[in-house]
Amino acid sequence: MILCLKQFLLNAIFTEEVEEIMFLNSYLGAEYVDEKYSILDIRVRTTENVEIDIEMQLEYHSGFENRMLLYWARMYLGQLKSGEAYEKLNKTIQISITNFKFLQNDHFHSTFHLMEKEKLIKFTDHLEIHVLELPKVQMTEELTDEDLLTKWMLFLSGDDKTKEEVAMTDMGIEKAYDELHRISEDEVMRERAIARDKWLSDQATRREQARREGKEEGEKETVLSMHAEGFSVEMITRVMKMPEEKVHAIINQIQ
């Protein structure tokens, strides 16, 4: 599948054709201990020196947006060696394929640039982020050659039957289908594909989110308990070292 992503998936995402790329620390699909956390992550560079990172995130967590920006920033910064001129920096693209609905719109492919707020003037073309949301893609009976990106998204998200059906409609996807079978039988490649560092970062983010939620729940219970005992809002605010507005908000939830 890595080979076919190199040849076909990027051409489906971009309007211009990507003729040739080389892989940078590429690995497929297994930053996981549990299958539900698996992530496809492939980093490439085009012949025009555009840096691209493609990842698939199967589960949302707080900090996901920040992580997208961090990966973009790491790629962008990584192009410049100490003492080199800023002109050496090239366009950098982050592509995130999500298995969850993420943005408040109906279309599955959203593209972001750094723009001026009023006139929508592009500050630079060096920052580009694509979000492709798999749950928003619908299987239809009349997929044409113009629906190439839709086909790829169906292939990535579908079950074995859907993958096989979509593969029969496009030569590039058919090659990806064959490559996927080869990779699944190659245990050595699967072992090399384990990217522990990023998976551990994701887990740390989830634990921090759970810790914050637990702390907030404990604070809420304490405020409600003090309120039930007759403590004033002013007293609760001082004891809990919490803004008065937040104390009122918690109390108002039960009224």
**Tens digits of per-residue pLDDT, 129-187?**
999 998 888 766 666 666 788 888 888 777 778 888 888 888 878 877 777 666 565 55
Q: Given this model, what pLDDT does residue 94 score? A: 92
Query: Predicted confidence band at 35 (pLDDT cuts at 50, 70, 90)?
Result: very low
- The CA distance from 230 to 161, in Å, is 63
Instruction: State pTM to two decimals.
Output: 0.62
- The CA distance from 29 to 38, in Å, is 6
Element housing 126 (H / E): strand 122-133
pLDDT of 120 strictly over 60? yes
